[in-house]
């Protein structure tokens, strides 16, 4: 039987939460998700707290800056990067203060190399994605940064087991050649799957911990992610169409972070259970292999807290149903 790093019947959040108070957000996460808490991300605080700005904090010797309200590569570190680094340090300090004695699995999130390449601009114009050499440099830099970040989190949470989430919402578009150019009048050419896999493998290997890849888009390349070393994938179940491929990869040992929304925990657990039955898997394995999460986007702090409560209770329902 495959062993997964998270407790049976676990639930967690995707990462991003509403609001601007990191201390409150971390308290909510630790209170509502005791089996698999995570470091909250609060993009409402503005540039530097957004996914791409935070991603820039993990790039080693590749500084970024804001230009015309978009992030791009920079010649040297400046004010914008310092703001992003300060926000990250504040979040990590809050995590250390509130979760320093936590002894379970704790998740942190980092944007993946292809989402960064599709979103970051080059100093000469256009996205990093259009330059294969720049993509290789970015992936290598991110791997170094991820290695250091995971080591830092481990030192801050000495009793915890760190789980890394790579956020790759742009990956399907990168592979399909659907990323728009900077002007918006065209699209960038597709990236070869072998090239995409190699970059992801480098980041996963550098992390040195179990990795879940999150992609809230249709047509997620599940086999590529498993071959790149991902321990699990985090998907919005409402966007999953190809059940055969999903079943094949789960049967090969991939874990599933199932993003679901609904009326209550019974409804959420029912969606996961129905999927599991359609795939033909025994209920006994469901609570071990599946982690319940909300989908991307939580509209308010109150609704975020309710959503995390619901997925926690749904995870426990899965455990009861599997017995």
CATH of the domain at 288: 3.20.20.210
Q: Do the domain assignments include residue 16?
A: no
Least confident of 78-82, 243-247, 284-288: 284-288
User: Which residue from 84, 89, 44 is spatially nearest to 63, judged by alpha carbons?
Assistant: 84
The conformation of residue 181, written as its DSSP 8-state character, comes to P
| pLDDT surpasses 90 at 61 | yes
The conformation of residue 187, written as its DSSP 8-state character, comes to B
Cβ neighbours, 10 Å, residue 208? 14
In this prediction, residue 2 carries a pLDDT of 63
**Could you tell me the residue range of the domain that residue 99 belongs to?**
22-322
| pLDDT surpasses 60 at 1 | no
0.85 surpassed by pTM: yes
The conformation of residue 237, written as its DSSP 8-state character, comes to G
Mean pLDDT of the region 195-205: 98
User: Which residue from 162, 145, 49, 155 is spatially nearest to 105, judged by alpha carbons?
Assistant: 162
Q: Do the domain assignments include residue 222?
A: yes
Q: Do the domain assignments include residue 304?
A: yes
Q: What CA–CA distance (Å, rounded) separates 221 from 227?
A: 10
The residue behind tokens 């999130």 is: 109
Q: What CA–CA distance (Å, rounded) separates 106 from 153?
A: 9
* Average model confidence (pLDDT) across the chain: 95
| pLDDT surpasses 50 at 167 | yes
By the 10 Å C-beta count (0-12 exposed, 13-18 middle, 19+ buried), 154 is classed as: middle
Q: Do the domain assignments include residue 193?
A: yes
Query: Could you give the number of structural domains in the chain?
Result: 1
Inter-CA distances, 67 with 1, 182, 203, 246, Å: 51, 13, 27, 40
**Helix ranges restricted to H, 210-264:** 222-227, 243-251
User: Which residue from 159, 152, 154, 146 is spatially nearest to 109, judged by alpha carbons?
Assistant: 146
By the 10 Å C-beta count (0-12 exposed, 13-18 middle, 19+ buried), 77 is classed as: middle
Q: What CA–CA distance (Å, rounded) separates 319 from 164?
A: 24
Q: Do the domain assignments include residue 200?
A: yes
| pLDDT surpasses 90 at 162 | yes
Q: Which two tokens stand for residue 48?
A: 């530097």
Q: Do the domain assignments include residue 260?
A: yes
| pLDDT surpasses 70 at 322 | no
Q: Which two tokens stand for residue 208?
A: 């040195």
Q: What CA–CA distance (Å, rounded) separates 218 from 220?
A: 6
The residue behind tokens 């029912």 is: 270
In this prediction, residue 271 carries a pLDDT of 96
Q: How many residues does the chain have?
A: 323
**Residues forming a β-bridge with 293:** 259
Q: Do the domain assignments include residue 313?
A: yes
Q: Tell me the helix, strand and coil percentages in the chain, rounded to 5.
A: 50, 15, 35
User: Which residue from 109, 57, 119, 112 is spatially nearest to 88, judged by alpha carbons?
Assistant: 57
**What band does 231 get if pLDDT is binned at 50, 70 and 90?**
very high
Q: Do the domain assignments include residue 5?
A: no
Beta 161-167 vs 290-293: how paired, if at all?
unpaired
Crossing angle of helices 22-32 and 301-322, in 10° steps, is 20
Rg of the chain over Cα atoms, rounded to whole angstroms, equals 19
């Amino acid at each position: 039987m495959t062993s997964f790093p998270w407790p049976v019947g676990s639930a967690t959040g995707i990462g991003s939460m509403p609001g601007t108070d990191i201390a409150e957000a971390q308290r909510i996460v630790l209170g509502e998700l005791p089996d698999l808490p995570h470091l909250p991300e609060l993009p409402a605080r503005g540039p530097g707290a957004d996914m791409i700005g935070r991603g820039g904090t993990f790039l080693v010797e590749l500084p970024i800056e804001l230009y015309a309200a978009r992030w791009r590569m920079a010649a040297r570190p400046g004010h914008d990067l310092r703001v992003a680094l300060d926000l990250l340090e504040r979040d990590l300090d809050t995590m250390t203060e509130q979760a320093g004695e936590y002894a379970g699995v704790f998740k942190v999130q980092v944007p993946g190399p292809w989402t960064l390449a599709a979103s970051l601009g080059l100093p000469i114009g256009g996205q990093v994605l259009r330059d294969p050499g720049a993509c290789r440099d970015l992936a290598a830099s991110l791997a170094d940064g991820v290695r250091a970040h995971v080591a830092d989190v481990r030192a801050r949470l000495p009793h915890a087991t760190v789980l890394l989430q790579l956020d790759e919402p742009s990956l399907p578009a990168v592979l399909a050649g659907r990323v728009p150019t900077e002007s918006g009048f065209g699209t960038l050419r597709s990236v070869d799957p072998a090239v995409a896999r190699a970059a992801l493998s480098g980041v996963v290997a550098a992390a040195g911990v179990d990795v879940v890849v999150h992609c809230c888009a249709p047509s997620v390349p599940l086999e590529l992610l498993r071959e790149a070393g991902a321990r699990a994938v985090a998907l919005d179940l409402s966007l999953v169409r190809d059940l055969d491929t999903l079943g094949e990869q789960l049967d090969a040992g991939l874990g599933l972070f199932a993003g679901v929304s609904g009326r209550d925990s019974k409804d959420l657990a029912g969606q996961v259970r129905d999927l599991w039955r359609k795939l033909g898997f025994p209920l006994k394995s469901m609570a071990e292999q599946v982690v319940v999460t909300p989908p991307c986007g939580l509209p308010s702090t109150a609704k975020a807290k309710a959503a995390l409560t619901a997925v926690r209770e749904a995870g426990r329902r899965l455990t009861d149903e599997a017995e």
